[in-house]
Structure 1
């Protein structure tokens, strides 16, 4: 890691004393939270004395603790409604005001954390890229431009504040206890492990259970890998995983409903991850685990793995002859069904040959 180049006259360059307080407001989802880690790393590299707090919802919060660039995690329990807002206000008003708030959200649910920071400078996206009048709670906005990959959009804030990033870093770290649990788990696996995340947060982004079962059988029978199903504890995710297990000849390992931190170190140890547009896909990219992304409902060039493993993407969002366009965020219906088992098997073969999957442990 080289020393950052701070733009003269920027907020990071100004005299302001040590220990300035920064409040990041990004509540969900898991993939977005992971994709914002290069921003907080850039800020911390530029001024190691910054104290960075992060307002986040409960589900993705474990990815921020521990993290070397996040000093405090403030959990906003949005599902509690007014009680959750009051709880957040009580926690934030007990502290001194923050010097800077960075609202990385584009929806109204982010207004409370931004306002409760009482920061004199509140930075957010330009008006055209926000919804629900969210831009009104900020008083400093990054310049308007087309939507881009999520990581690039977040890194616009780093440049705006004076710390352009040449090589983004995620720096997800594991405790000694997590590393010991990881070593114990993988010591019992006699083949390279391939993770499958069959479900996303939106049904229309999911693939078909019978086709996932075909991929499981190919992983185990043709390639000699061990497959494991990963994902959240919800009824829909569990049902889809059960359908896959019932349909597959080779029964995959079961890791559905595992805590997020456990999922992270498991992905870190996998030879490969296969997933639709969902948070664990971005965790895999952050951990440099090769990932096959299945895209039809959303654009992989906006929400796919950042700057790596594009050769493994299955893209049914972009029409034949159409140039990839990361500015598009309109969903496309019925596209996931166009992905076949053979499409995925071809990418598994490519990943094996290009990324040395049999040698990963």
Structure 2
């Protein structure tokens, strides 16, 4: 089978899921440099799709709730582009039907649920077992596509998977510190408490306790981050960390500026969120908090950074799988201090 001229890669759900598709997108572009790689994503992750060097063009998915007219408009665009192959990393019946109706000859997806019936190439993965990281499941699909097209020796890319120009990030960091009266020599520890609406996160009080147990021989400043809808928890965490050097960064200008700020983080602390996976793609040091629920473990949603740049914590075996209150954040802080905060910034 000859190399496809155009491939559509579908990952049209949440931010973290899309970030974990970065290695696969880069794998395809690395192995097929003359092939046009397009990504079908929702509007929310479009900015991060545009940042990926493995993507040549972005196609917007209006989503399952969109009107029929919008669904058929997407179908027309897919037909007009004349894709040779589609790789659907997470499929639904709607997307499966669209790939068939768009007359894409090679259609690959995981062999799961009814949606698999729309694909003429499938890979059995049993993702529900969560036996490996999500990004490895994605890479396995990318490797199958390449093998089906005669490329059997492709090397998986290595971190960082996302990188902005170092000179621009250095300038941005300097401006950030000066605007907030932070010494530019300080280590910047980002804490992203999120909205608190998900069961798989620490409480704001736990994040405050964690922050108060951080120790380093060199000065550091906490950078409490918040996206739209997360401002209240950021303000609460700021109040609960009174006495610590801290500032709040409200991400109101979109995902790319947020990602650019994350690149100059010396450490990123959060639950299993989209921003955590941006930090991982940037190969920043991370410490993350997960449940033990099989579909949401630290293994399944492992970050993309190098092994020595990540720590993960979960409730003990003696606690309920999703009881985040049972995580010993003081003990977690000791591990974080030892792993990330003892050497000079």
* Same fold by TM-score greater than 0.5: yes
Q: In the alignment, which of 108, 131, 135 is matched to residue 123 of structure 1?
A: 108
CA deviations on 1:66-103 (whole Å, 9 max, x unpaired) are 3321000111132752254244234334x331000001
Pair 1:40-2:25 in alignment: yes
Q: Give the TM-score, by structure 2 length.
A: 0.82
1:116-135 per-position Cα deviation (integer Å, ceiling 9, x unaligned): 643101100012xxx4x221
CA distance in 2, matches of 1:173, 1:109: 33
Is 2:137 aligned against 1:153?
yes
Structure-2 separation of matches of 1:178 and 1:110: 38
Q: Confirm or deny that 1:139 pairs with 2:120.
A: yes
What SS does the corresponding residue of 1:205 show, helix, strand or coil? coil
1:347 deviation in Å? 2.6
Provide the residue aligned with 1:9 in structure 2. none
Q: 1:290 aligns with which of 285, 289, 302?
A: 285
Contact conserved, 1:24 with 1:102, CA < 8 A, in 2? yes
Residue in structure 2 matched with residue 20 of structure 1 by the alignment: 5
Deviates most, 118-127 or 280-289: 280-289
Q: From the superposition, tell whether residues 213 and 344 of structure 1 become closer, same or farther in structure 2 (CA, over 3 Å).
A: same
Q: CA deviation at 1:349?
A: 0.8
How much is the aligned-residue C-alpha RMSD, in angstroms? Answer: 3.0
* SS of aligned partner of 1:52: strand
Instruction: Give matches, 1:184-199, under 5 Å.
Output: 184-186=174-176, 188=178, 189-190=182-183, 191-199=186-194
| C-alpha distance in 1 between matches for 2:94 and 2:307 | 31
The DSSP-based 3-state class of the residue aligned with 2:334 is helix
Please list, as runs of the form range in 1=range in 2, the aligned pairs for 1:1-361 lying within 5 A after superposition: 14-16=1-3, 20-78=5-63, 81-82=66-67, 83-93=69-79, 95-108=80-93, 110-111=95-96, 114-115=99-100, 117-127=102-112, 131=113, 133-145=114-126, 146-147=129-130, 148-161=132-145, 162=147, 163=152, 164-169=154-159, 171-174=161-164, 179=169, 182-186=172-176, 188=178, 189-190=182-183, 191-199=186-194, 203-219=198-214, 224-234=219-229, 237-249=230-242, 250=244, 252-258=246-252, 259-296=254-291, 298-306=296-304, 308-309=307-308, 312-316=311-315, 319=317, 332-334=321-323, 336-353=324-341, 356=343, 358-359=344-345
Q: 1:221 to 1:154 in 2, by over 3 A?
A: closer
Q: How many corresponding residue pairs?
A: 323
Using structure 1 for the length normalisation, give the TM-score: 0.79
Give ranges in structure 1 of 5+ residues lacking alignment: 1-13, 321-330
Deviation readout 1:38-92 (Å, 9 max, x if unpaired): 1111111112111000000112221121332100011113275225424423433
- Secondary structure in 1 aligned to 2:81? coil
Structure 1 residue 209: deviation in Å? Answer: 1.1
Distance (Å, rounded) in 2 between the aligned partners of 1:176 and 1:91: 37
**Larger relative contact order (Cα-Cα within 8 Å, sequence gap ≥ 6):** 2
Quickly say closer, same or farther: Cα 1:118–1:251, change in 2 above 3 A. farther
For 1:222-250, what per-residue CA distance to the aligned partner results, in whole angstroms no more than 9, with x for missing partners? 8631111223202xx22222221222213
Instruction: Give the deviation of 1:142 after TM superposition.
Output: 1.2
**How much does 1:219 deviate?**
4.4
1:177-199 deviations in Å (ceiling 9; x for gaps): 95476244355241111111112
Change (3 A) 1:152 1:346: same
Please give the alpha-carbon distance, in whole angstroms, between the structure 2 residues aligned to 1:170 and 1:85. Answer: 35
Q: Distance in 1 between matches of 2:17 and 2:83?
A: 23
